[in-house]
Amino acid sequence: MLVILAFQPLLVVALLVALIPALLVARDSGHITFASYDMTTADGRRAAYFDGLLMSDAAAKELRLFDLAPWLLAQRQAYAQRVIERRLQAAWATSKGFVMAAVVSAGAQYLALAFVAYQAVTGRITLGDFTMLATALVVVRQNLSQALANLGELLENSLFFGDLERFFNFRPKIATPSAPRPLPSIEGYEFTFEHVAFTYTGAPSPVFQNLSFELRAGEATALVGVNGAGKTTIVKLLTRLYEPERGRILLNGVDIREFPLEDYRAIFGVILQDFVRYHLTARENIQVAKVSAPPDLGRLEEAARQARADEVIKSLPLGWETMLGRQFDEQGQALSGGQWQRIALARASTGTPRS
Ligand SMILES: Nc1ncnc2c1ncn2[C@@H]1O[C@H](COP(=O)(O)OP(=O)(O)O)[C@@H](O)[C@H]1O
Ligand SMILES: [Mg+2]
């Protein structure tokens, strides 16, 4: 660059001007590519969802019973097609820009080369000067174009990085307070719901507005209500998966928000209607309730016995080490719905402190 500047300052100006289109393209292409990904995220996820359904063994039975595969496949193709079209549009738009910018800057380089060649032929500069200038011109343009391309990429990545940063800045709303109280000893937990009101985000009406009741230690309490009455919601509030909108939930007289979240949640053994069937070994299926502690086979066996899952496990070809589910292993054992429930029950009882 300095070489050309010393001999032909105007040439440098011309070369830089010729790179302006490349600069604009570098700026725009990042935005175009980012926008094409941003716009296709939802459709891409839907396509992936249909992929997952088509391949999942949980859905396999209904897929056959309802002869659903062709329809799912068509849905999947429609969403995937939209993603491909948008991305192609973006690729086409950016490459048009890249080609035009490259033509302009290459054109400028050849004109500049012709200009110095003309000066050499007419004897205004020596042949040595010409060689040096010609080389410098090629190298300078190459480097500048590369730098601009890199700049464009950097810009595009910074847009994606912005998303990542926003994601990392999400903070859970339900967390341990800065000065938590230790959980009370395991004997005699009593829970009190005190004028609890709760509405799901975006729901038109509250699940309950003023709910008060007590759960006393040593008693078995059954909660009965029609579908959608709010039974599961009570469990979610009790286990601090959600926070009451108004009112308080107390454990032995202390607001449950004051306890360390992980310790507090560990006192519950919960089986939900939609418990997870882990495609892992029988041992791992029960042990996942307490991955923080070192594996303790005695404890797992006790939990299995309590849940009467021990008979299920005994009947498996490899016992505790048998793979459940057949997603990853042809030798995996398919369990009945009830057998899966026993495994989930053993898991729930493993996760809770022994009393
Ligand atoms: N995650 C959620 N977001 C919004 N509304 C929900 C959510 N979960 C449940 N609901 C609604 O809250 C009400 C109570 O649900 P739930 O506690 O699951 O009832 P159930 O008594 O059958 O267990 C229902 O009207 C249900 O539609
Ligand atoms: Mg429910």
Contact 284, 207 (CB under 8 A): no
**Rounded Cα–Cα distance for residues 117 and 95 (Å):** 32
Q: Which DSSP string corresponds to 100-152?
A: HHHHHHHHHHHHHHHHHHHHHHTTSS-HHHHHHHHHHHHHHHHHHHHHHHHHH
Q: What is the mean pLDDT of residues 7-23?
A: 83
Distance 228 CA to ligand 1 centre (A): 5
Q: Which residues contact 152 (CB under 8 A, 6 or more apart)?
A: 25, 26, 27, 29, 30
**Residue 206: pLDDT above 90?**
yes
The first and second tokens of residue 7, run together, are 């001999």
**Residue 289: pLDDT above 90?**
no
List, in sequence order, every residue forming a beta bridge with 195; answer none if it has no partner. Answer: none
Q: Residue 144's pLDDT is what?
A: 86
Task: Pinpoint the residues of the chain covered by CATH 3.40.50.300.
Answer: 191-265
**Residue 4: pLDDT above 90?**
no
**Rounded Cα–Cα distance for residues 300 and 325 (Å):** 20
Q: Determine which residue's CA is closest to atom 3 belonging to ligand 1.
A: 200
Question: What is the distance between the terminal CA atoms of the chain, rounded to a whole angstrom?
Answer: 80
Q: Residue 355's pLDDT is what?
A: 44
Q: How many other CB atoms are found less than 10 A from the CB of residue 114?
A: 10
pLDDT, tens digit (0-9, with 9 covering 90-100), for 62-73? 999 999 999 999
Contact 290, 210 (CB under 8 A): no
**Rounded Cα–Cα distance for residues 3 and 227 (Å):** 82
**Residue 89: pLDDT above 90?**
yes
**Residue 82: pLDDT above 80?**
yes
Can you point out the beta strands (E) in the chain? 191-198, 208-215, 246-251, 254-255
Closest C-alpha among 346, 279, 288, 280 to residue 312: 346
**Residue 114: pLDDT above 80?**
yes
**How distant, in Å, are the alpha carbons of 279, 297, 327, 351 from that of 305?**
21, 12, 27, 15
Split at pLDDT 50, 70, 90, the class of 354 is: low
Q: Residue 118's pLDDT is what?
A: 92
Q: Determine which residue's CA is closest to atom 26 belonging to ligand 1.
A: 228
Which residues form ligand 1's pocket by a CB distance below 6 Å?
Answer: 200, 203, 207, 225, 227-233
Q: Determine which residue's CA is closest to atom 5 belonging to ligand 1.
A: 200
Distance 37 CA to ligand 1 centre (A): 34
Weakest mean pLDDT among 126-135, 162-171, 345-354: 345-354
**Residue 353: pLDDT above 70?**
no
For the chain, the helix, strand and coil percentages under 3-state DSSP, each to the nearest 5: 60, 10, 30
Ligand nearest to the CA of 231: 1
**Residue 134: pLDDT above 90?**
no
Q: Which atom of ligand 1 is nearest to the CA of 225?
A: 21
Q: Residue 337 half-sphere exposure, CB side, CA atoms within 13 Å? A: 3
Q: At 51, which amino acid appears?
A: D
CATH-assigned architecture of domain 191-265: 3-Layer(aba) Sandwich (3.40)
What value does the mean pLDDT of the chain take? 90
Weakest mean pLDDT among 38-47, 221-230, 344-353: 344-353
According to DSSP, residue 307 is labeled T
